[in-house]
C-alpha cells in the first residue's frame, strides 16, 4: 500500500468527482494521503477532508505564491488549525523565484515566520523550493527545525546531500519519471531508505505514462516503480519504506 505524502484534493479540478476519486483509492493500493494547504482557505479545506476521510491527514500553511497577502493574523489561524488531531505538518511553505507571484522579500519573511511557528508547535515542515536553492538552504540552516520534507525535489545530488545533512526527507513526484529528467535519477539512487518519500502533488505533474493529464494518488505507483527500478529493488519495497517513513515523520500511529 502506498502513502501519497503530498496531494491537493481541495483543488477545483476535483470538484466534479472528488468523493468518488477518494473512495476509489483504497482498492487501488493507496493507504494514506497528506492533503496540503497552500493558503488559509485551502488549509481549512485540508482539515475538513481529513475530518471526513479516515485515511487523509492535513498540512496547513501558506505557499510562497500566496504570501503577498499574508498577515500576522494568518499565523494565528495556522496555529489554531494545527491543534486539530489530524494536522501533521506545516506546509506548503517555502520560496518560489521562478514565478515570483509574491515579492521575494515577502517570501523570505513569511517562510522564516512559518518555520518558527512549526518549531514552536513541534511539527515538521513541507517545503516548496523552486529556483531558490541558495536562500532555501540558508533559511533551513538558520532554523532550529530538524525534520521535514523537501517536496517534489528537483535539484542536484549535491543539493540533496545538504538537505539530508540538515535532517530533511527528500520526496519524489512525477518529474522523476520524465524522459528529460537529468539529475533526479541520480538523486533517487543516493537518498537513504529512511529519508525517502513519494508523492503525486496531484492534480499537478502527472507521471509518465499519464503526463499532461489530471494527476491522482493512484499514479504514485509510477513514481515508486521508477525509483525501484533505479535502485534495483521492488516497487513493493519502495511502497513499504516510504509509507513507514511518512508515518514516522508525521507521527501517525
Helical (H) or strand (E) element with 157: helix 157-165
Side-chain half-sphere exposure of 221, counting CA atoms within 13 A: 11
So what's the pLDDT on residue 83? 97
Instruction: Please state the pTM of the whole predicted model.
Output: 0.97
So what's the pLDDT on residue 138? 98
- Which residue, among 80, 82, 81, 23, has the nearest Cα to 55 in the 3D structure? 23
User: Burial, 54: exposed, middle or buried (Cβ in 10 Å; 0-12, 13-18, 19+)?
Assistant: exposed
So what's the pLDDT on residue 77? 98
- Which residue, among 114, 156, 171, 163, has the nearest Cα to 138 in the 3D structure? 163
Beta partners for residue 90, in sequence order: 60, 125
Alpha-carbon distances, residue 80 vs 38, 85, 107 (angstroms): 16, 11, 22
Q: Which domains does the chain have, with CATH numbers?
A: 2-249 (3.20.20.140)
E runs forming strands in 77-208: 87-96, 125-130, 148-150, 168-172, 196-198
Question: Would you write out the chain's pLDDT as a tens digit for each of its 253 residues?
Answer: 999 999 999 999 999 999 999 999 999 999 999 999 999 999 999 999 999 999 999 999 999 999 999 999 999 999 999 999 999 999 999 999 999 999 999 999 999 999 999 999 999 999 999 999 999 999 999 998 878 999 999 999 999 999 999 999 999 999 999 999 889 999 999 999 999 999 999 999 999 999 999 999 999 999 999 999 999 999 999 999 999 999 999 999 8
Angle at 18 between CA 86 and CA 196, to 5 degrees: 50
Task: Measure the CA–CA gap between 19 and 73, rounded to whole angstroms.
Answer: 32
Grid cell in block for residue 5: 505524502
- Which residue, among 89, 69, 53, has the nearest Cα to 199 in the 3D structure? 89
Amino acid at each position: 500500500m502506498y502513502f501519497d505524502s503530498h496531494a491537493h484534493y481541495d483543488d477545483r479540478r476535483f470538484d466534479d468527482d472528488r468523493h468518488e476519486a477518494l473512495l476509489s483509492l483504497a482498492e487501488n493500493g493507496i493507504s494514506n494521503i497528506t492533503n496540503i494547504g497552500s493558503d488559509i482557505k485551502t488549509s481549512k479545506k485540508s482539515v475538513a477532508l481529513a475530518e471526513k476521510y479516515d485515511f487523509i491527514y492535513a498540512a496547513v500553511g501558506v505557499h510562497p505564491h500566496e504570501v503577498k497577502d499574508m498577515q500576522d493574523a494568518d499565523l494565528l489561524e495556522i496555529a489554531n488549525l494545527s491543534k486539530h488531531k489530524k494536522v501533521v505538518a506545516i506546509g506548503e511553505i517555502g520560496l518560489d523565484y521562478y514565478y515570483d507571484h509574491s515579492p521575494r522579500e515577502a517570501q523570505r519573511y513569511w517562510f522564516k515566520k512559518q518555520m518558527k511557528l512549526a518549531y514552536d508547535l513541534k511539527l515538521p515542515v513541507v517545503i516548496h523550493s523552486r529556483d531558490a536553492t541558495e536562500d532555501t538552504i540558508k533559511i533551513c540552516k538558520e532554523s532550529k527545525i530538524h525534520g521535514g520534507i523537501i517536496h517534489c525535489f528537483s535539484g542536484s545530488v549535491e543539493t540533496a546531500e545538504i538537505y539530508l545533512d540538515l535532517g530533511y526527507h527528500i520526496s519524489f513526484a512525477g518529474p522523476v519519471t520524465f524522459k528529460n529528467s537529468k539529475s533526479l535519477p541520480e538523486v533517487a539512487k543516493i537518498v537513504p531508505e529512511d529519508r525517502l518519500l513519494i508523492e503525486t502533488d496531484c492534480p499537478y505533474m502527472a507521471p509518465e505514462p499519464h503526463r499532461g493529464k489530471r494527476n491522482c494518488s493512484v499514479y504514485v505507483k509510477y513514481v515508486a516503480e521508477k525509483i525501484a527500478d533505479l535502485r534495483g529493488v521492488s516497487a513493493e519495497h519502495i511502497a513499504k519504506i516510504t509509507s513507514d517513513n511518512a508515518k514516522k515523520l508525521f507521527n501517525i500511529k
